[in-house]
Structure 1
Amino acid sequence: MSEQHSDVQAFFGARAADWDSRFPDDGPAYAAAVTDLGLGRGDAVLDAGCGTGRALPALREAVGPSGTVVGVDLTPAMLAQAVRAGRDRGAALVLGDVGRLPLRDGALDAVFGAGLVSHLVRPAEGLRELARVVRPGGRLALFHPIGRAALAARHGRQLTEDDLRAEPRLRPLLADSGWHMVTYEDADARFLVLADRVG
């Protein structure tokens, strides 16, 4: 494991136990973003960097009993919290790196990634790997329950244009990684980008 991967694990591992209690009101925002992803019954969807699994119940509801839901996360403590919260019911949880997924090419209809882009060790490679496992025409949702400005303020930082989630940076990053950005929303209440798998 690289030093950057260890840093991500350490960051989230230290916060796993109280993660959900720190953000108790995010459930409706997750559910709304999953709805906007536009999943169909029987679809196969990945929650990339699933953390404590807050999106997993909504993803399961969207794809129905015939669908497939997989959650992948790099941090064992976050996955343990997902199990403790019962969010593993109806979902397969995998300890792993989003940059090297144990899935075949085109196996998925969609990917949901909450807070994902800023924690990818190698963003372009990670987004290319997500494109590899999604069928052409499949969809990616990059989500955060608050927008970029609100998140920066929460952390006492200024919002800068070198943020990977700024539209002028994210659009070409997605395009170079096999995705076409369809919508970009960066409001106080949420950040949501939807992109389609090209070709």
Structure 2
Amino acid sequence: MANDHTHVLDFFTPRAAGWDSRFPDDGPACTAAVGLLGLRPGDAVLDAGCGTGRAMPALRAVVGPRGTVLGADLTPAMLEEATRAGRGDSGTLLRADIARLPLRDGVLDAVFAAGLISHLAHPEADTAELARVVRPGGVLALFHPIGRAALAARQGRVISDDDLRAEPRLRDLLAGAGWRLESYTDEDDGFLALAVRQA
């Protein structure tokens, strides 16, 4: 497990300070994605792999003052940036491993995960852990500010059916972890997969 964490920490720690400036225009897309979670005032939601907590104000806006917003990330430098940016005002920031969340079964109404899936060491086990903490009928949103083709082009690689975010692969992965893929959008200006927790 330590090796999995080393990779994540090595990737994100040096990027934390400039993270918010890397995707300066993705705020509206992120807010729109949060709106599709179907959250109601008083609900409980986790921003999984929250990074600098950019989604937390939008999540707080939909669950209201009586709702619960948690932001969990493995990288201390990201959480420090989130605190510096005031994101802790929108919810509780936790240093936590997505593979072992410090939450009881079924306590959440939804999980929002921006850019998370490609960084999971054990995608099926990790998405099953997300399912564990969400009530039946709750929602998982997998978001990225740009789609698969645009991201591949940016990284100088070819889009592949082996990609975890390819629709058939993602549908099977989520089904094995207790989720049903409900909607799938993969366009240049954003990626969003919405899944429902099965009973």
Q: Does 1:40 align with 2:33?
A: no
Q: Distance in 2 between matches of 1:160 and 1:43?
A: 37
Counterpart of 1:20 in structure 2 is 20
Counterpart of 2:73 in structure 1 is 73
Q: Distance in 1 between matches of 2:110 and 2:190?
A: 20
Matches of residues 95-110 of structure 1 in structure 2 within 5 Å?
95-110=95-110
Query: SS of the counterpart of 1:15?
Result: coil
Q: How many Å apart are 1:10 and its aligned residue? A: 1.0
Counterpart of 2:154 in structure 1 is 154
Q: Which amino acid aligns with 2:89?
A: R
Counterpart of 2:176 in structure 1 is 176
**Runs (5+) with no aligned partner, structure 2:** none
Counterpart of 1:138 in structure 2 is 138
**Percent sequence identity over matched residues?**
67
- Cα RMSD of the aligned pairs, angstroms, is 0.7
Counterpart of 1:187 in structure 2 is 187
**What does the per-residue CA deviation read over 1:23-42, in whole Å, with 9 as the maximum and x for residues that have no partner?**
11111111010001111110
Q: Which amino acid aligns with 1:29?
A: A
Q: Distance in 2 between matches of 1:129 and 1:122?
A: 10
Q: Distance in 1 between matches of 2:66 and 2:173?
A: 33
Query: SS of the counterpart of 2:15?
Result: helix
Counterpart of 2:92 in structure 1 is 92
Q: TM-score when scaled to structure 1?
A: 0.98
**What does the per-residue CA deviation read over 1:68-108, in whole Å, with 9 as the maximum and x for residues that have no partner?**
00000010000111111111103110001001000000000
Q: Which amino acid aligns with 2:48?
A: A
**Runs (5+) with no aligned partner, structure 1:** none
Counterpart of 1:57 in structure 2 is 57
Query: Structure 1: which 4+ aligned runs deviate by more than 4 Å?
Result: none
Q: Which amino acid aligns with 1:188?
A: D
Query: SS of the counterpart of 2:8?
Result: helix
**What does the per-residue CA deviation read over 1:2-41, in whole Å, with 9 as the maximum and x for residues that have no partner?**
1121111110001000011121111111101000111111
Q: Distance in 1 between matches of 2:144 and 2:3?
A: 25
Q: Distance in 2 between matches of 1:75 and 1:157?
A: 27
Q: Distance in 2 between matches of 1:53 and 1:152?
A: 25
